Structure 1
Amino acid sequence: MAYYGKCVEMVIEQLDKFKPEKDSPEQFLEAASSSLKDLSPQKQAFVLEVLSGCLEYRKLLTIVVDAFYVRDGRLCLWADYNLFRVICYLATFQLEELGFQLFCNIIKSQPPVKVCKFLGFFFNPLNLCSWIKDEWSLIYETAYVEENWLRPLIRWQPEVQELITQLEGVPASQSPLSKTKAKVTEPKEFNLTAPKPRAIPVPEPVPMVAKPRPVPRSTYQLPKEQQQLDIVKRYNRRKAEELLLKANMEELRCAMPRSHWEPPTQDSKKQLQLQVLPRIQKTPKLTFFRPDNIPVKLNTAAILREGALYQRQVEKELQRVDKLVDGAGDFSEFLEWQRKMQAKDLEEQLAAGECRRLQGKLSHEEAILARQNLVQENKHRAEQKKEETAKLMLQCTKRRLQEDRYLKEQVEQAMELQKNVKLAQAKLVKGRRQIVQEMMEESRELLQRSAEAAREEQRQRCELISQLRALETQPTRKGKLVDLTQIPGYGLEGEMSVVELRERLALLKETQQREEEEKRDQIIQGKRTKSQELQNTVEQISLCRAAMGRSAALRWEKKNALATAPGEPSQDERVLELRRRIAERAAERRRQAALLLASAPRPARPKTRAQLEMRRWLELEQSRERRLRARQQGGSASRSARRLEAA
């Protein structure tokens, strides 16, 4: 075994020196043969043959070894990479010529753990018939790979599996035993005194603790006021979302209002009914949950703060009335000026909104023009791309045919060389098999003897350990009685027994409970007086709130009446300029669409994306206009009612 181990080590050493980027296989083999001249002819022939085979089939071996490191050999060292390549080459290409017995000797000369893991991965039928076959077929023909390499490997798989189980039974650290066994030092036990068994300590008495009160259910539940507040918060949030949706719809109205929308003709309506996509459905009306009037419980600070606020407002109102009686001026002129300025600001806001709407429409027209130009450019580029791809495909097919011819010639040359080498190797195999069988029988006998001696020693150790543990687990009993009515007698002042101490503690607790009850009665009386005062202030606050709500509702009705009054159409210069530019872009878009239809008339072809997009935008604007009209009609009546309810 040592003979084959040295040969494999020489092959691995030479493979470590080979660099495929710089060295060529022929020159490297010549240099290796010159460096191995000192060896015997048989050993030199074996090393050169394995080395040349590993270099020739380097691609096939690299595929298997790389997959082994990725899947099962994550914990293996990369320094053993060439060892696995050599084993893979011997198993694939030299197993028939060497014979199984000689192959076993070569495998046993290497570390058993590494070799077993690699052989189990490589000779797995699932791996051989699936991905290994596919990867090797990419390099050589499938029929050749299956006939010459895969079938012999599958045929030798049962014998290799027996070899793996045999190697797994041998410990990793055990090396092959020599014929002359060295003397082993026999240790002797120390003459030590036996330790005394440990005493089991007396368990401490468990103190009796009073049973605690259970946690009340209200700890894990929200109070009723908090639940009612959560309901009101959710309702207010939904209401705010509804108002935000309405505000967004009013901003979208600038995209296509009725006053500036050009109604389609009868012919365009018929064409749209035939060609336009399915119409956009109206969104159903949403229903929101309206809770009942839930009273909100205020804390003491909020009640006192609000009461003081209303009291200050009443005092200010009385002071204003006194000043008017004394002859102070009125604010009617200021209010009139303020109303005019607000109307002017409103007109500016409407003009700005109209400008934003027209700018959006202008950008839409410009986007359609840009899309039409882009379609023409894309058509021209697509035609050029098709011509280029056709030329590249022709070049690729020619190149593949040339590569296939070259690979077939290489395979034929390799097969002729391999047949000549096999005849020379068959002569060496016969002489080596007899030597290997004799060495195998001697090694088996030595392994059996060493295994029996180890089992007997292990059995004796287990018996000694069980006896020692039985001696250590023998129990010892020690006990002591305690009298709670007896005084310890340490000589301290006020010394007493445990029973007397408990009685005194019980009397002390009774006095503390009595004092707590008296304090609790005093606190309850003070709370009742405070609650009565707060109730009076709450009644005054409710009266003030009702009066403020009525005045706020009247103000809101006046403001809503001024806002809903119809205004004159704006004649701003910016608006007129934007309308003129929109008309020019629309005319240019229609002219461009007519040129596109005239240049490529195809009756059976579906409508272009630009036309479908234009029709979709037109129908979307119509649906928005209808929804805005419906909201304007029903919004004026519902807003005043909602504001009154909120007040």
Structure 2
Amino acid sequence: MTYYEKCIEIVIKQLDKFKPEKDNPEQFLETVFTSLQQTLNPQKLGFVLEVLSGCLQYHKLLTIVVDAFYARDGQLCLWSDYSLFEVICYLATFQIDELGFQLFCSIIKSQPVGKICKFLRFFFNPLNLCSWIRDEWSLIYETAHVTENWIDPLMRWQPEVQELIKQLEGVPTDQITPLKTKAKVTVPKEFNLTVPRPRAITMPEPVPTMPKPRPVPQSTYQEPKEQKLLQMIKTYNRRTAEELLLKANMEELRCAMPRLQRDPQVQDEKKQLWHQSVPRIHRTPNLTFYKPNNLPVKLNTATILREGALYQRQVEKELQRVDKLVDGAGDFSEFLEWQKKMQAKDLEEQLAAGECRRLQGKLSHEEAILARQNLMQENKQKADRQKEEEVIEESRELLQRSTKEAKEEQKRRCELIAQLRALETQPTRKGKLVDLTQIPGYGLEGEMSVVELRERLAMLKETQKREQEEKRDQIIQGKRAKSQMIQNTVEQISLCRAAMGRTAALRWEEKKAQATSLGTPCQDERVLELKRKMEERAAERRRQTRRQTAPQLVSPARALRPNLRAQEEMQHWLELDQSRERRLRAMQEAGRTCHATHHLEAS
């Protein structure tokens, strides 16, 4: 345990020194490597650097968990243990499968038991892992990656970790270290004194008996008779007042509508409406004098009168409407039908106008593309002409330079021939030639002949040349791998855009089918004319694009530009379609609201 305890202490110490806002992680790791290289063996150094680099790489994920632990369950923990909790969180999330559970248990047991148990209980809680931890980590990485690589393995290790926590919680009581034995001290002895005689036991005093209390009278638990009598009188008076009020309302209604009283059918309808509006009073055959559990809502006289007047106004209003219909008054159905037709016509006109605006936008877009293609064609022609002029000028300059170099070479050769002829005319020296294979013998260290020196220099040049070629090959391979990666990325982007385009097209077709149920604006003459113009412009643009396209090699950066332009165009049309959908949805909601209002008015 001391081995891992020392390694974890080194990692915690280095994490405390790291400042995210100032230090660079790579430079910080290099500094730690140089400082610990002399003091630790390779195994310890590798473990420390691996854990430290992982904590720095996933610093955001670890801080989310540790900050939440301090806010919820770790209010009593010290902030100096922040780096310890980060290391434990990293080992549990990213290294438990690689280290193995036994090695992970050894690392955990080498740390303070109370703090580690509290943190592991918080971190391996399934409610925390499957709720806010996964949501917070999904804001930084993709949800599928988080769930598959981190959350699911933690949930698989959750039973073993809970068992480990139970074992660790029982360690302090079972493994209490024995106290050190103290040295013997002098034990004092008692004095041998005379034992006193025991005192005589006194007789206990008799316990006084209390008189028996009187029982509580039964009237304490019974309701007084006066209160019962008052309740009966109150109930009787209330029912009498309700009956009188009912009779008065009936008389008033009978006096106000004498003509309707003659008609028995209207009288029956009035009675039915009245019985439906006025609440019935149910009389109980036997009075029960006890308090029920669910007390009814008590209505005072003003509330009853107000409610009766409301029902009476409703009945009078309905009877007046029936009288008007009997006298030959018109109905609102024809007006509502006309209003509905006019609203449908207005909606069709609005949809047609919106479709016209959309097609005009697309037409202007096609015209802009045509203009841009024409401009690009003109610029290309100008560039070709300029390139031809540049090539002519360059060929002329090269020709002049080659003639000049030929003249200089001829002049140099003439001078060299003159020098050689002058040397031939000079007398030769007769004597021993210099032996380049012989060592001078000056007694210097590493002394060698001229031939050996030349051979070593030639070998050194060959080695340098070979290294340069290897570096060149590595650079070329790296460039090829990078270009291949960029090409794969471009293909992936094109596939994603094609999928998004198909999805958007399907959504647009569905929304277009829904819009055609209300009224198809495509039958409008303006819409058909704009569609025809737009198709002509699109065909012309495609023809120009086919004429301008030629097989040529382009760089990955230039290959990405059309895709970016196509993405911007796709985004532009998606925004136009979304705005048109929002406008259509608002118009539909307004139409439904208007229909519902007229329906309520008619009813």
TM over 0.5: no
Normalization by structure 2: what TM-score?
A: 0.36
* Higher RCO structure (Cα 8 Å, ≥6 apart): 1
Normalization by structure 1: what TM-score?
A: 0.34
